Amino acid sequence: MNTAGLHPPPTNIVVLPEAETHPIPIASTSSRIHRPRPQEMPAPPYTHQAPPLEIYTAYAQADERYFNNIKEQLDILRRQKWHISCHESEIFHSTAWQRNNHLATANLILLLVSTTFLNSDFCYCEQMCLAVERHRTDNLCYVIPILLHPLHPLLLKGTPFGKLDFLPTNGKAISTWTNPRKAYNNITGYLLEKLQSMIYYP
């Protein structure tokens, strides 16, 4: 074989040291620690860019002590930064309710029902009938009659709101509860349920 045209193999080959490798640890599938990725963080339930939910309470002056107890519950919600606005009207001696529009705009309409309350023009006005109609057709409106003391069912039936569910639960008047605090707790629980349903309503 003629090897004249072949070049000898190079003698200056440098052998590099083997690169140091660092194995990437693989998380154990049995680990109970889970750190959610940023996109997995829950979104806030609502934004303050939306208008506050409006709560309107109507009562007779003779029933002011009941109103004050319910107002105290609502004041706690505002202190705890619930996105609500609260309004009220004394409806027997005052005519201010005739000049406001809360029955047409409020999300929760609380009616503190007593004999005095039923003996007012407020109960039978056109705005009340329209509010009850909103209750039936609008997912963002609830008319909530609250029974302060026992009344004959026929007296309640004759009102625009007589066919609605009364609070406390099962229409047991506040004055008949052995522990009235439990009655107010029952009412507050229902109001919170409705507020939450409206906050998350699409």
The DSSP symbol for 98 reads G
Give the amino acid at 12: N
- On average, the pLDDT of the chain sits at 83
Two tokens, residue 27: 């998380």
The Cα diameter of the chain in Å comes to: 128
Read off the CATH number of the domain in which 171 is found. Answer: 3.40.50.10140
Is 144 a member of any domain? Answer: yes
Tokens of 20: 């140091």
Q: Does residue 69 lie in a domain region?
A: yes
Distance between CA atoms of 43 and 40, rounded to whole angstroms?
A: 9
Is 191 inside any structural domain?
yes
Q: What pLDDT, on a 0 to 100 scale, did the predictor assign at position 42?
A: 47
Q: Which residues contact 167 (CB under 8 A, 6 or more apart)?
A: 144, 145, 146, 147, 186, 187, 190
**Res 190 pLDDT > 70:** yes
Give the domain extent around 127: 53-151+160-199
Model pLDDT, residue 43: 42
Does a structural domain hold residue 89?
yes
The predicted-structure confidence for 65-119, as pLDDT tens digits, reads as follows 999 999 999 999 999 999 999 999 999 888 888 888 999 999 999 999 999 999 9
Q: Point out the least confidently predicted range of 15-19, 110-114, 136-140.
A: 15-19
Domain total of the chain: 1
Range with the poorest average pLDDT among 33-37, 54-58, 167-171: 33-37
Residue 123 lies in a domain: yes
**Does the pLDDT of residue 19 top 60, yes or no?**
no
Please, which contacts does 168-173 make with residues 24 or more away whose CB atoms are closer than 8 Å? 171/147, 172/147, 173/147, 173/148, 173/149
Amino acid at 42: P
Identify the pLDDT of residue 49: 64
Burial class of 4 by CB neighbour count within 10 A (0 to 12, 13 to 18, 19+)? exposed
Domain membership of residue 66 (yes or no) is: yes
pTM of the entire structure? Answer: 0.75
pLDDT tens per residue, range 167-189: 999 899 999 999 999 999 999 99
Helix (H, G, I), strand (E, B) or coil at 181: helix
Sign of CA dihedral 78, 107, 112, 127: positive
Query: Is 138 a member of any domain?
Result: yes
